[in-house]
Amino acid sequence: MLTDLTLTGFAAELASDSPAPGGGSVSAAAGSMAAGLVAMVCKLSVGKAELEEREPVLRDAQAACDKLRASLLAAVDMDTDAYLGVVDAFRMPKGTDEEKAARAAQIQVAIRTAADVPLATAESCLKVLKQAETVAVGFNTAAASDLGVALQMAASGVAGGVLNVEINVPSLKDAVAQHDLLAAAAAISAETAGIMERVWPAVQEHVRAG
């Protein structure tokens, strides 16, 4: 499993001539790290006298991010597996009409999976952003740079997930599926942009204030 590799090993896999792992797995990894950072900011904020009233919210955000971190880590391998599923489908035999039909059907199934997995990654990264927005209302501002990095990493995870949806959609023959996937991706992107527009300037102010 990719997630069992060291960071050095994972980076080496990315740098190899193999097309997988690729951008989808990196997007999931970015989201997982973002979730970890938000959880850390929560832990650094709990126990501060001035944030006592915020503790229930911060603890909830930490718990949510712990779950998101785990699910996004799992998506690192799921994305690569989805790509390999497409490769396997294209390698199916096509000597007879029956084989051609089975191959064509499996290709469509595999491509749909290859679009669904990064869409789920983007959705999870958006959830991390929502938790970060909740935390940003009141937290230990000594960790403002960490929260800022979390925002950027989660937003990158969304963008990467969406890109991997968009590159697979044209290969789908189901027009309804194409529409639904692109609409969902666009909605996630729009909500992400809204969160970043609201939260990023405030976090920057905390960072610059020291």
Q: What is the pTM of this model?
A: 0.95
CB crowding 18-29: b at 16 or more within 10 Å, else e: eebbbbbbbbbb
Mean pLDDT across the stretch 148-170? 98
Inform me whether the pLDDT recorded for 145 exceeds 90.
yes
| Residue 205, C-beta contacts closer than 8 angstroms, at least 6 positions apart | none
Q: What is the CATH number of the domain that holds 153?
A: 1.20.120.680
Mean pLDDT across the stretch 176-192? 98
Residue 168, domain member (yes or no): yes
Q: Tell me the HSE value of 37 on the side-chain side, using a 13 A CA sphere.
A: 24
Residue 200, domain member (yes or no): yes
Mean pLDDT across the stretch 150-172? 98
Tell me whether the omega of the peptide bond preceding residue 21 falls within 30 degrees of 0, making it cis.
yes
Residue 60 in tokens: 């909830």
Looking at residue 1, what DSSP letter applies? -
Residue that has been written with the tokens 């973002």 in this structure: 34
CA geometry: angle at 133 spanning 117 and 149, to 5°?
Answer: 75
Arithmetic mean of pLDDT over the chain: 96
Contact 117, 78 (CB under 8 A): yes
* % of the chain residues with pLDDT over 90: 97
Residue 154, domain member (yes or no): yes
Q: pLDDT (tens digit, 9 = 90+) per residue, 37-84?
A: 999 999 999 999 999 999 999 999 999 999 999 999 999 999 999 999
Looking at residue 158, what DSSP letter applies? H
Residue 14, domain member (yes or no): no
The amino acid at 144 = A
Distance CA 106, CA 118 (A): 19
What is the residue range of 40's domain? 20-209
Position 210 confidence tier, pLDDT thresholds 50, 70, 90? confident
Mean pLDDT across the stretch 198-202? 96
Inform me whether the pLDDT recorded for 164 exceeds 90.
yes
Distance CA 119, CA 185 (A): 7
Inform me whether the pLDDT recorded for 20 exceeds 90.
no
Residue 119, domain member (yes or no): yes
Residue 6, domain member (yes or no): no
Distance CA 129, CA 24 (A): 18
Residue 112, domain member (yes or no): yes
Looking at residue 47, what DSSP letter applies? T
Does residue 48 come out as left (phi exceeding 0), alpha (psi in the -120 to 50 range) or beta? Answer: beta
Q: How many domains does the chain have?
A: 1
CA geometry: angle at 163 spanning 130 and 79, to 5°?
Answer: 85
Residue 3, domain member (yes or no): no
